[in-house]
Amino acid sequence: MRKTLLLCSFAAAGAFASGSAIITLEMPVGARQLGMGETGVAIADDASALYYNPAGLAFGPLANEWELSYSQESKNVPAFTKLAAKTRAGFFDKSEIWAGTCAGLMHYDGEHWTDYHLVTLEGKEKIRDVVRVFAGTESGLDEYTRRVKKFNDVENEVDESYLRDVKIPWNLVVNDTVTALLYEARTEKLWVGTPHGLFRFDGKAWKNYSSEIGTPRVTALANQGATLWIGTDNGLFSYRNGVVEQKGKVLPSQKVTALAWSESRGELYVALDNAGIARLVPKKGSNSKDRWSLFNEEDGIMDLHARALVVDSSGHIWTAHDGGLSHFNLRKWEQVKFEKNVVHDLSVAKDGAIWIATDKGVWRHLPDYATASGKKAELERSPEERGKAQEEDEWEHFHSGNGLSSNRVWAVLPQANDVWFSTGAGVERYKDADYQLSFFYEKLLPVLNIPDLYHLFAGMTLPLAEWGTLGFFVNFVSFGETVVSTEDEGNSSANSSEIVGGFSYGTKLTQKTSLGLSVKFFYSDLSSGASSDGAEATTFSYAFDVGVLGHDVLVKDLSAALVLANIGPSIYYTDKSDQDPIPLTWRLGLSYELLNSVDNRLIFAADYNREAVYDNSKGEPEPFYTAMWKSIINPDLGGNGAAKAKNSLLQGVFNVGAEYTYSNTVAVRLGYLYDKTGKRQEVDLGLGVMLSDVLQFDIATIKDVGDNEGVRDGQMRFGMIFKF
């Protein structure tokens, strides 16, 4: 009777071998992967990895990881001198990074680094027209235009007539070492300090402020509402509504090395070379005066040569020195010494953590007072409580042994969930992975037009810092109404369904290899109460998957994976003597990223899925540890020698696919599936739309190209991934 009950189920599965039960264990998920010929074992880079290969959970973007975003040849000078960020302001916006170099600027759009600004020609515009706007001046326009034409390989008017997007190099205007950098979110303007003055870019044009402040070496920038604070080697300036005013002429040094504005206290902190740390309470109006105070070594500062200043989430002041840190807790200065080390830069993350760039790696320091349990004001604590709080401060050290490519770190910038570093190896990023929610739906076998025959999947991934990633999932198939035929009772009907739920975990073995495990529990209800003896045709059991994944295998950008899926005991429904194995399956996968440029990404993938079910001489299913190899060396189609190997190979399902993504916004996918045993030849077509880096929609469909009935022809798949 069981085979009669499963008749519709096996038809729904189409390709899977009829020697196993619990077909839902082998129902592939993810409209993205299904648009690529159902390939996903070696890609495994989104929440659908919970089905294809749990080892994919160990790598980004599913897991926190270190990435060398921009490599450099020289190890002794920084690739980027300064870093600034444009945080995503809206749902459809993308975060961006601006970076200063020794010869100008570079820009990161969320995917790639570029050394140019892209402008689209409109109407009858010429290169000279857009260059005039970009440069913000007529002075030197001929030379600027010549350089831009050369940069775009434009040699004559014919070349220019075909040009629509003009690449204007950033160093056309600012071609000097960037000594200070600030992106002002309120006005969406980029401020750039150089050894020869101050510049501003408003998204279209540059402005030079030499007429306002001259051409001093700009060393630091900070903003306070509509006021821009400018630190130079010739004094401190404020710029507001086009008016420039020099500040702090009474200070013992006019050489400013760092600035930090405290929003909570309305104070500006100024690091002065060879003089200490000055504190400015700006005047409130024309009838008031600026109030200055000065801290030096007698007050507890480590030395008089601070090179960086930050204000943390509680308003405390931190300064960087050659030998460590000075910390002002708003009552007194304290020192944190770094033995035989140099501190280059400081920055504060949105979680209150202080990132410290040094010659021996990076420290992440989370003071107790910045944590949820330590929000109690310092002034309200007793001396005993304050001492205990300091003992509970968190310190983490990142170096070449646990993620960084180089221990020498010059600059650090937390941005959204990531942290960027300028190091001896180039620009590195600590990618703090998002949580991912994945949903998938497909209506099965549209040719049969069964309304309640469908497949649902939901999964979620949770990154666990350096430990890897954990995931949870539910896979459900409704087989609709099943007709049960018996000689004694005639025909009856009941609804059938299966559900698989569980969790997955992936962790790295090395920087390029990982191991993953999935534990699954399933419940199958084929036809409750429909058997002749009144017994329910249901079963409950478990299974697990083990997978490995390697990146850059043999050649760069080539990934390889191996998974043994659905390891578990045989099951039965109504008769214990009539047992069936679950679909133990070998999965092999390869993927190769052929192209990855500013606007274009092309990936090819190939999978091979081989069910490894084997019955002994008594017709009973073998346990997984023997079936996993006996089914391969003894294929159902038989044969000898090469023919036997060929028949064994053809018992599996072959999948190939490709994905082309444009500007990380739209993806087009194509795939092919060949299954000799299941008599399937199918072409898969898919489309994906990425809304910012938060939401992704995917759709895929099947086109049957074989000589069979093609009951899956026209089947549509829909998927969504939400990242937060």
Domain with 60 in it: 2-64+434-723
Same domain flag for 614 and 522: yes
Same domain flag for 410 and 520: no
Which of 431, 447, 476 is the last residue in one of the domains? Answer: 431
Alpha carbon distance 437, 439 (integer Å)? 7
Residue 151's pLDDT is 95
Residue 450's pLDDT is 80
Alpha carbon distance 137, 164 (integer Å)? 23
pLDDT category of residue 89 using cuts at 50, 70 and 90: low
| Per-residue tokens: 151 | 């940069």
Read off the amino acid at residue 590: L
Same domain flag for 387 and 500: no
Residue 357's pLDDT is 95
For residue 682, being part of any structural domain is answered with yes
For residue 194, being part of any structural domain is answered with no
How many CB atoms neighbour CB 606 within 10 A?
21
Cβ atoms of residues 341 and 323 within 8 Å: yes
Same domain flag for 346 and 446: no
For residue 102, being part of any structural domain is answered with no
Same domain flag for 371 and 415: yes
DSSP letter for each residue of 42-71: TT--STTHHHH-GGGGGSTTTS-EEEEEEE
Which of 431, 458, 480 is the last residue in one of the domains? Answer: 431
pLDDT category of residue 393 using cuts at 50, 70 and 90: low
Alpha carbon distance 661, 112 (integer Å)? 14
Alpha carbon distance 27, 586 (integer Å)? 15
Mean pLDDT, rounded, for 412-423: 88
Residue with tokens 């069981």: 2
Strand, helix or coil for residue 159: helix
For residue 144, being part of any structural domain is answered with no
Alpha carbon distance 355, 370 (integer Å)? 13
For residue 128, being part of any structural domain is answered with no
Same domain flag for 445 and 360: no
Alpha carbon distance 383, 7 (integer Å)? 76
Which of 396, 431, 466 is the last residue in one of the domains? Answer: 431
Residue 528's pLDDT is 57
Q: Is the pLDDT of residue 445 over 60?
A: yes
Alpha carbon distance 228, 246 (integer Å)? 12
Work out the percent of the chain whose per-residue pLDDT is above 90: 55
CATH no. for residue 388? Answer: 2.130.10.10
Q: Report which of residues 196 and 431 the model is more confident about.
A: 196
For residue 129, being part of any structural domain is answered with no
pLDDT category of residue 64 using cuts at 50, 70 and 90: confident
For residue 24, being part of any structural domain is answered with yes
Same domain flag for 555 and 700: yes
Residue 699's pLDDT is 96
Same domain flag for 655 and 694: yes
Same domain flag for 423 and 544: no
Same domain flag for 563 and 681: yes
H helix intervals, 260-402: 383-391
DSSP letter for each residue of 107-167: EE-SS-EESEEEEE--TT--HHHHHHHHHTSSTTHHHHHHHHHHHTT--SHHHHHT--EEE
Q: Is the pLDDT of residue 70 over 70?
A: yes
Same domain flag for 547 and 684: yes
Work out the percent of the chain whose per-residue pLDDT is above 70: 89
- Report the DSSP beta bridge partners of residue 165: 120
- The closest alpha carbon to 661, from 6, 51, 32, 121, belongs to 32
Q: Is the pLDDT of residue 168 over 50?
A: yes
| 382 phi/psi in degrees, rounded to 5 | -80, 165
The rounded mean pLDDT for the chain is 86
Q: Is the pLDDT of residue 529 over 80?
A: no
CATH no. for residue 701? Answer: 2.40.160.40
For residue 88, being part of any structural domain is answered with no
Tens digit of pLDDT for each residue in 627-670? 888 888 887 766 677 888 888 888 889 999 999 998 888 999 99
Tens digit of pLDDT for each residue in 543-562? 999 999 999 999 999 999 99
Read off the amino acid at residue 314: S
Q: Report which of residues 383 and 322 the model is more confident about.
A: 322
Domain count, the chain: 2
Residue 7's pLDDT is 41
| Per-residue tokens: 710 | 């093609």
Q: What is the DSSP letter of 380?
A: G
pLDDT category of residue 228 using cuts at 50, 70 and 90: very high
Angle at 703 between CA 697 and CA 704, to 5 degrees: 145
pLDDT category of residue 489 using cuts at 50, 70 and 90: low
pLDDT category of residue 236 using cuts at 50, 70 and 90: very high
Same domain flag for 399 and 484: no
